[in-house]
Structure formats: structure tokens, C-alpha cells
């Protein structure tokens, strides 16, 4: 590994589960090193004592292991040859193919000057009304699925990726089950779009600390295509909770004082560094990030979803609706903060009001349901909201829906007319006059 005249250290003074410490000079912060050929990174320097985080763990590391500092931070070779390939956390191919040629770039680069960003304004259609109608996605947006582990978030994400009109899809898999990795590979190859997909994968079989490199690798590749090639790039990150767990492991092994929920104090900054890579560039290129944050028992007050929610532009919740026996995109807790930039502008004028009215009526149905559960008689209005809610879930919210936005709006008006009187939907009169479907 060592180049000629490179200084080799062989005196490790301390080894913990993830780090080792040694005396060395001239070492830069964040610099990479190898410890007996295994990759490590500088995480702390105190005088001539350097602490290295060993990515694959320190099991079997000798106190006299050969340590070589590489004089650079982690890098990725970027170029058009990345397309269609599968890589590990270090950017090495795992698909048996050749090492791609390209320009070497440091990962985790600086942030975009906010005044050089462009306001996102292009809609990303997914065909699912739970997303397009209620929580419309926009290029340059960052949004996670908040989901319990048993929910089909990876399937939904793969569907979104394939239906979205983008130039590149970059998958960052962190602690991905091998089966899920193969699922993505399968779906992408079967759709015949493998050539526009690039994957950086760390499966559950790989060391957890390596996960920390995955998002930066994926986003460095994304920046290459978005900035250098002006392409529309969609980045899928699954799952950010296991990324955060890896952060906690490292901070714990470095004896840092844990902050809330045993997460490191820098969790917000760590997550923001990743999510804020989502951007619409003025020259047309864009990076859109759709991520997954798995919840434990639906708890969104936990540090990881909580901090994520404050960084991302909304969140999507999946829920199994027992009334229709399908998974739906929950209209209550889901939100796309950027939807205002496109709905009623890129979509039909009635979109904002129709969307709100439908959710409001759906919430009336939830009240009616509570009444029912408490053993009370339902009013005629209650009965109608319940009937509406069922149709709404089936025809619009369910994730198996695949229609365009105009069809979604028409469907909503059809349901309004089927169950309600015009004055019950609280929509601007001029829109009711124009779109109400009188039977």
C-alpha cells in the first residue's frame, strides 16, 4: 500500500472497538490512513496523538500494525463510467466489473451558496395520488419516508424512482438487507433502466461504520452529474436510521458524551450535511433526495426522525388502511413543503383547494369513526364522510394508484359530488362552478 518514502508507523498505543490511537505528526484532520491495509480516518488530533476510526472495526488489529497516512480525505472517481454500476462504501466496484476511470474528487464537499440556488419549480410525477395530489414532489427537494420497518417503503421508493422522469438514479444503501439489495437490482434491471442507475451499497453483512461513507459517496456522484452534466438526479437513501445508528456507535466508541437518545450532539449537522445536498441548480441540473427513516414503533419524537423532519422538506408516512386492506400514503401526517411551488401552477388551478378539501373531509371521517367506536349514532353527514373516506383511500390514496394529476383532480370532484353538497366542501365558488360534477 505504502508509496516509496512514505512514513510508516508501527506503534499503536491504544485500541478500542472502533478506533486506535498512535503518535504521528503532519497528519491532517479527516485524512485517510490504512492500518495493516484496512481503511481508517482521522477523527481526533491532540498534539502528536492521532485517533483513527477504523471503518471495518478493530478486531484483529495488532499494536504493531503498519499505519500509513494517505494524505487525503475519502474520494470518489467521478465520470460517465459510473452509470449502471454497483459500488461499496469506498467506491470500489462490487459487480465484478472494472474500476471506472474518472476524476478523483473528495467526498462530502462544501455547501452550495444559498444565493446560487434556484427555487425548485419542476414537479416530479409518481402516479400515486397520495404523493402527486396531496404531497407533490418537486426537483431539488429532500423528503424522507417515515416508516415502520415492516412497511413496503423500499418498494414504494423503487416505484417512485422508475416512474420519475430523471436522468440518473443513485441508490445509497446503508445497512440494507441483502435481499433488499437484490430486490433493487432486480427491479432496476427488469425495467431496463439499469444504465441510468448507480448504486453504493453497504449491506447488513458489512461493518456498520462503513455506512458513514455511503451518503457522501452517493451525493458526490450526484453532484458530478447535476453540476458537470446538468442532469436531473434522484438520490435514494435507505435507510438513514441505520446511518444515524452508525454515527452513535462511533461517537460512543470515542467516549463522547451522548446527547439525546444516545445520539451524538452533532446529529443535526451530520444529517443536514447530507440532506442539504438536495438542490436545483440554475443551469438545469438538480439533486432530489428521497430517503427512508425507519421508526421504532411509530415514534417520531426520537432524535433521528425529529431532526430529520426539521431538515427535510416534508415527510411521507405509509399506513395500512384496514378499511380497504391496502397501504396508503397517510394524508394527515405526510407533507411536502415544496408542493406550493407547483400545485395550481404546474398543475390545474383547482389543485390546492381540492387537495385541502379532500383532506378536511377525510378528517371529518376520522371524527365520525371515533364516534362510531365510542358507540354513538352517526349523523347522515358522518355516514357520508365515512363512505367518502373509503372511496378516497381506494381510488386515490392507495399506493397501487397510477394516474396523472388531472385524473386525480377529476376523481376527487367525482367523489365530492357523489357524497356531498357543494357548500359542504368549502371550496372557492368559482372553482365549484367550474368543476363540480353534477350528476
Partner 1 sequence: MATKGIVKGIVSNLVTVEADGPVLQNEICYIHTGGDRLMAEVIKVIGKNAFVQVYESTRGLKVGAETEFAGHMLEVTLGPGLLSKNYDGLQNDLDKMEGTFLKRGDYTFPLDEKKVWDFKPLAQKGDTVKAGSWIGEVDENLQPHKIMVPFVLEGTYTIKKIAEAGQYTIYDKIATITDGSGKDIELDMVQKWPVRKAITVYKDKPRPFKLLETGVRVIDTANPIVEGGTGFIPGAFGTGKTVLQHAISKQAEADIVIMAACGERANEVVEIFAEFPHLEDPHTGRKLMERTIIVANTSNMPVAAREASVYTAMTIGEYYRSMGLKVLLMADSTSRWAQALREMSNRLEELPGPDAFPMDLSAIISNFYGRAGYVILDNDQTGSITFIGTVSPAGGNLKEPVTENTQKVARCFYALEQDRADKKRYPAVNPIDSYSKYLEYPEFSEYIRERISSDWIGKVNELKTRMQRGKEIAEQINILGDDGVPVSYHITYWKSELIDFVILQQDAFDKIDSITSIERQKYMLELIMRICHADFEFSSFTDVMDHFKKMINVCKQMNYSEFKSDEFDAFEKELHALVNEKAV
List binders of partner 1 among 308-367 (CB under 8 A).
309-315, 332-333, 335, 337-338, 340-341, 352, 356, 359-360, 363
Q: Tell me the C-alpha distance between 184 and 173, whole Å.
A: 10
Query: Cα–Cα distance between 392 and 129 in angstroms, integer?
Result: 10
Strands (E), 204-325: 232-238, 279-280, 286-294, 314-321
Minimum CB–partner distance for residue 198 and partner 1 (Å) = 21
Question: Is 36 a residue that touches partner 1 (CB under 8 A)?
Answer: no
Q: How far is the CB of 265 from partner 1 (least distance, A)?
A: 3
Closest CA to 289 of 160, 128, 129: 160
- 11 versus 426: smaller Cβ distance to partner 1: 426
Whose CA is closest to 279, among 110, 90, 136, 91? 110
Q: Rounded to the nearest whole angstrom, what is the least distance from the CB of residue 435 to partner 1 in the complex? A: 16
Residue 269 makes contact with partner 1 by CB under 8 A: yes
State which residue, 183 or 268, has the beta carbon closest to partner 1. Answer: 268
Site for partner 1 in 160-199 (CB under 8 A): none
Quick note: the x/- pattern for partner 1 over 208-247, rule CB under 8 A, is: -------------------x--------------------
Question: Residue 300 interacts with partner 1 (CB under 8 A)?
Answer: yes
- Cβ-contact 39, 68 below 8 angstroms: no
**Interface residue with partner 1, options 109, 149, 298, 325 (CB under 8 A):** 109
Judge contact between 184 and 159, C-beta under 8 A.
no
How many Å apart are CA 292 and CA 62, to the nearest integer? 38
Q: Return the DSSP state at 208.
A: G
Beta carbon of residue 329, minimum distance to partner 1 (angstroms, whole number): 14
Q: To the nearest whole angstrom, how small is the minimum distance from the Cβ of residue 153 to partner 1?
A: 19
The stretch near partner 1 (CB under 8 A) out of 123-131, 150-158, 235-243, 258-266 is 258-266
The whole-angstrom distance between residue 416's C-alpha and the CA centroid of its chain comes to: 34
Considering only residues 362 to 421 of the shown chain, the ones binding partner 1 according to CB under 8 A are 363, 370-371, 374-377, 379-381
- Quick one: cell of 265? 450532539
Peptide bond into 239 cis (omega under 30): yes
Rounded-to-integer distance, Cα 64 and Cα 105, Å? 32
Question: Which secondary structure element, helix H or strand E, spans residue 252, and what is its range?
Answer: helix 240-253
Answer for which of 4, 5, 26, 439 binds partner 1 (CB under 8 A) is 26
The correct pick among 53, 56, 88, 141 for binding partner 1 (CB under 8 A) is 141
Locate 191 and state its grid cell.
425495467
What is the C-alpha to C-alpha distance for residues 146 and 399, in angstroms, rounded to an integer?
15
CB neighbours of residue 430 within 10 Å: 10
Does position 48 bind partner 1 by CB under 8 A?
Answer: yes
Residue with Cβ nearer partner 1 (47 or 192): 47
Q: Could you say whether residue 140 binds partner 1 (CB under 8 A)?
A: yes
**CB nearer to partner 1: pick between 155 and 266:** 266
114-133: contacts with partner 1 (CB under 8 A): 114-120
Amino acid at each position: 500500500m505504502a508509496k516509496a518514502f512514505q512514513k510508516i508507523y508501527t506503534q499503536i498505543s491504544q485500541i478500542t472497538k472502533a478506533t486506535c490511537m498512535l503518535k504521528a505528526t503532519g497528519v491532517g484532520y479527516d485524512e485517510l490512513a490504512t492500518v495493516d491495509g484496512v481503511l481508517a480516518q482521522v477523527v481526533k488530533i491532540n498534539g502528536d496523538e492521532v485517533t483513527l476510526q477504523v471503518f471495518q472495526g478493530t478486531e484483529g488489529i495488532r499494536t504493531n500494525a503498519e499505519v500509513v497516512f494517505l494524505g487525503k480525505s475519502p474520494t470518489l472517481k467521478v465520470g460517465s463510467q459510473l452509470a449502471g454500476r454497483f459500488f461499496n462504501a469506498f467506491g470500489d466496484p462490487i459487480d465484478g466489473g472494472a474500476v471506472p476511470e474518472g476524476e478523483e474528487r473528495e467526498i462530502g464537499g462544501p455547501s452550495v451558496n444559498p444565493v446560487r440556488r434556484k427555487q425548485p419549480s419542476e414537479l416530479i410525477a409518481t402516479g400515486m395520488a397520495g404523493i402527486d395530489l396531496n404531497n407533490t414532489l418537486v426537483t431539488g427537494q429532500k423528503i424522507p419516508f417515515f416508516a415502520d420497518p415492516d412497511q413496503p417503503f423500499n418498494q414504494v421508493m423503487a416505484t417512485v424512482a422508475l416512474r420519475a422522469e430523471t436522468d440518473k438514479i443513485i441508490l445509497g444503501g446503508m445497512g440494507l438487507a441483502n435481499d433488499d439489495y437484490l430486490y433493487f437490482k432486480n427491479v432496476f434491471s427488469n425495467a431496463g433502466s439499469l444504465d441510468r442507475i448507480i448504486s453504493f451499497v453497504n449491506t447488513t453483512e458489512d461493518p456498520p461504520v462503513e455506512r458513514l461513507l455511503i451518503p457522501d459517496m452517493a451525493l458526490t456522484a450526484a453532484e458530478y452529474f447535476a453540476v458537470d452534466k446538468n442532469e436531473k438526479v434522484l438520490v435514494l437513501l435507505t435507510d438513514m436510521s441505520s446511518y444515524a445508528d452508525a454515527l452513535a456507535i462511533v461517537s460512543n466508541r470515542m467516549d463522547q458524551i451522548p446527547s439525546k437518545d444516545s445520539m451524538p450532539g452533532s446529529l443535526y449537522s451530520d444529517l443536514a450535511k447530507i440532506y442539504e445536498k438536495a438542490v436545483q441548480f440554475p443551469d438545469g441540473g438538480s439533486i432530489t433526495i428521497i430517503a427512508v427513516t425507519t421508526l421504532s414503533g411509530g415514534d417520531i419524537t426520537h432524535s433521528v426522525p425529529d431532526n430529520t423532519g426539521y431538515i427535510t422538506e416534508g415527510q411521507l408516512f405509509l399506513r395500512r388502511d384496514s378499511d380497504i386492506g391496502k397501504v396508503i400514503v397517510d394524508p394527515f401526517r405526510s407533507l411536502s413543503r415544496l408542493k406550493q411551488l407547483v400545485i395550481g401552477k404546474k398543475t390545474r388551478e383547482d389543485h390546492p383547494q381540492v387537495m385541502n378539501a379532500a383532506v378536511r373531509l377525510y378528517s371529518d371521517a376520522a371524527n365520525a369513526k371515533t364516534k362510531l367506536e365510542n358507540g354513538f349514532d352517526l349523523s347522515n353527514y358522518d355516514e357520508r364522510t365515512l363512505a367518502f373516506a373509503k372511496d378516497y383511500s381506494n381510488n386515490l390514496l392507495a399506493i397501487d394508484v397510477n394516474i396523472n394529476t388531472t385524473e386525480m383532480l377529476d376523481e376527487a370532484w367525482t367523489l365530492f359530488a357523489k357524497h356531498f353538497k357543494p357548500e359542504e366542501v368549502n371550496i372557492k365558488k368559482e372553482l365549484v362552478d367550474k368543476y363540480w360534477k353534477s350528476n
